[in-house]
Amino acid sequence: MPDSATSPASDARLAGHPAALRRTFAIISHPDAGKTTLTEKLLLFGGAIHVAGAVKARGEARRARSDWMKIEQQRGISVTTSVMHFEYGGAVFNLLDTPGHEDFSEDTYRTLTAVDSAVMVIDAAKGIEARTRKLFEICRLRDVPIVTFINKMDRESKDPIELLDEVASTLALDVSPMTWPTGSGQNFKGTFDLNNNRMLVFDNTDRSRIGEVIENYTIADSNFAEEVELVRAGYPAFDLESYRAGHLSPVFFGSAYNNFGVKELLDAIAAWAPPPRPQPAEPRAIEPTEAKVTGFVFKVQANMDPNHRDRIAFLRLCSGKFRRGMKLTQMGTGKILSVNSPILFFAREREIVDEAWPGDIIGIPNHGVLRVGDTLTEGETIKIVGIPNFAPEILRRVRLEDPMKSKQLRRALEDLAEEGVTQVFRRVIGGDHIVGVVGELQLDVLKTRVEAEYNVHIDLEPAPFETARWISADTKADLEEFMSANRGGMSEDRDGSPVFLARNAWELGYIAEKSPKVKFSDIRERS
């Protein structure tokens, strides 16, 4: 574990550039593993909040669905804090919130395309859970480096070796423990810092106290000494290159609730987590040190008030020094935007900023011009790639109450699909609209917004399908053969790409096996 974070790992590529100090990351976890609690503790260290509970209150409010809608409506633009900018130990952090619980959505996945690294929080009693695994897979698409935090050691936990082996085998990831716990639950006594031979003591009687650190600690307990030797011999040592390539994850044990192990985690991110990466783009990759500004929109947050069509687009800066008032060109349409009120988000407030650097996220208020996946530049024609659509996990058929409004409905669904709220598929036979989301709450958002903003009343009925896959084949003939043989399941997404809708996973497996020339994909890059 790094001693201090005063000197974030130098990166020759970025030497002396403000981008070198940026750490843009997200926390991935299964609901209830402790993401909100950990976020709060990280922000406390960053001085971004002063009262424990500030983030918690927000987390709980968000979970109550009706409250969430009401608050959104009253305040106009969403109150959910999507990005938290803070400084600590000489580094500048941008922590991107990945919506969880009911507000889980495609945004959760897409946010992971805008980070340079992630922290994976695991509940020590539960190990790897479904959503952690799914989010990890999304990180793996880009080999995003991951630091693992095994949380809730103050509760009875699984055996730590078992936990490490579970991470390693389920995720096919090398793990390198940085600290090693002694006991758990009532017997949790702290963690031993394997690299610096010091003991971080957990005060079981006063859990609010930040534990003592004993330097040059000699382990007296022979069982524990033996275990530590075993662990040192059994797992690879930390290797920065391997971590940054996404192959090895350093692992910390702690308790977010008790603020135990959190500082060590934050120090590790400051010291090791990568600064902004070169951004894949067409026709060439973009280096963060380039003089001209580029960025991409990974999320659009709408105003729930039908009278105000304002949106905030979240722009991840990839290069250049952004200055307030700049004119940026939207690739594709060629529209030029004057960015006069760029917003930087802190834990409790937001501010108009005068400048920002690669790795930073700025909010750009606009009237619906900016869409998810958009590239903004100072004029150069270049398109950032790698911001995909993810196959929806919940499908519904849209039933229109007033058939005279089918044109409005189509427009509403297309607009909201472009904004990234839902995906929409039009069936080849019959022309039904099937909408797809990855989180239930998006269905409510869709219905509310179609009614409020487009004055179209709809019902969302169960669809006869459970699974959607983009299909492709080496030759057009192969694709067309498949499409005509399976017309009942064929549809088009908003860009006209063919999507096969399967009644269930079994049918998908069966048809895929019968159609070896066709590729079924659960990810599609936005064009």
Judged by beta carbon, residue 210 or residue 505, the one nearer ligand GDP is 210
Judged by beta carbon, residue 149 or residue 465, the one nearer ligand GDP is 149
Judged by beta carbon, residue 189 or residue 396, the one nearer ligand GDP is 189
100 marked ligand binding residue: yes
* In 135-277, beta strands by DSSP E: 146-151, 174-177, 179-182, 190-193, 198-201, 213-214, 248-253
Q: 């229109």: which residue's tokens? A: 400
| Shortest distance (Å) from residue 245 CB to ligand GDP | 27
* Nearest partner of 10 among 274, 288, 317, judged by Cα: 274
| Shortest distance (Å) from residue 278 CB to ligand GDP | 32
97 marked ligand binding residue: yes
| Shortest distance (Å) from residue 209 CB to ligand GDP | 15
| Shortest distance (Å) from residue 58 CB to ligand GDP | 11
CB atoms within 10 A of CB 493: 18
The pair of structure tokens assigned to 306 is: 């039908």
Binding site for ligand GDP (CB under 6 A): 29, 31-37, 59, 100, 151-152, 154-155, 255-258
308 marked ligand binding residue: no
| Shortest distance (Å) from residue 309 CB to ligand GDP | 32
| Shortest distance (Å) from residue 262 CB to ligand GDP | 9
Angstrom distance (rounded) from CA 42 to CA 49:
9
What's 441's DSSP letter?
H
The pair of structure tokens assigned to 518 is: 């066709």
| Shortest distance (Å) from residue 438 CB to ligand GDP | 17
The pair of structure tokens assigned to 270 is: 């400051």
478 marked ligand binding residue: no
* Nearest partner of 435 among 477, 468, 457, judged by Cα: 468
State how far the alpha carbon of 204 is from the alpha carbons of 38, 184, 201, 210, 223, in Å: 19, 11, 9, 11, 21
356 marked ligand binding residue: no
Judged by beta carbon, residue 202 or residue 454, the one nearer ligand GDP is 202
17 marked ligand binding residue: no
Angstrom distance (rounded) from CA 156 to CA 166:
17
Count of positions (residues) in the chain: 527
- Residue 123: which H helix or E strand, with range? strand 117-123
Close Cβ partners of 335 (under 8 Å, ≥ 6 residues apart)? 329, 369
153 marked ligand binding residue: yes
459 marked ligand binding residue: no
Judged by beta carbon, residue 1 or residue 55, the one nearer ligand GDP is 55
| Shortest distance (Å) from residue 339 CB to ligand GDP | 32
31 marked ligand binding residue: yes
Judged by beta carbon, residue 120 or residue 271, the one nearer ligand GDP is 120
493 marked ligand binding residue: no
- CA-based radius of gyration for the chain: 24
Judged by beta carbon, residue 83 or residue 450, the one nearer ligand GDP is 83
Judged by beta carbon, residue 187 or residue 521, the one nearer ligand GDP is 187
Alpha helix stretches (DSSP H) within 177-273? 222-234, 240-244, 262-272
The half-sphere exposure of 135 on its side-chain side, counting CA atoms within 13 A, is: 32
User: Would you say 492 and 436 are in contact if contact means Cβ atoms under 8 Å apart?
Assistant: no
Q: Report the greatest alpha carbon distance in the chain.
A: 80
Specify binding-site residues for GTP.
Answer: 29-36, 97-101, 151-154
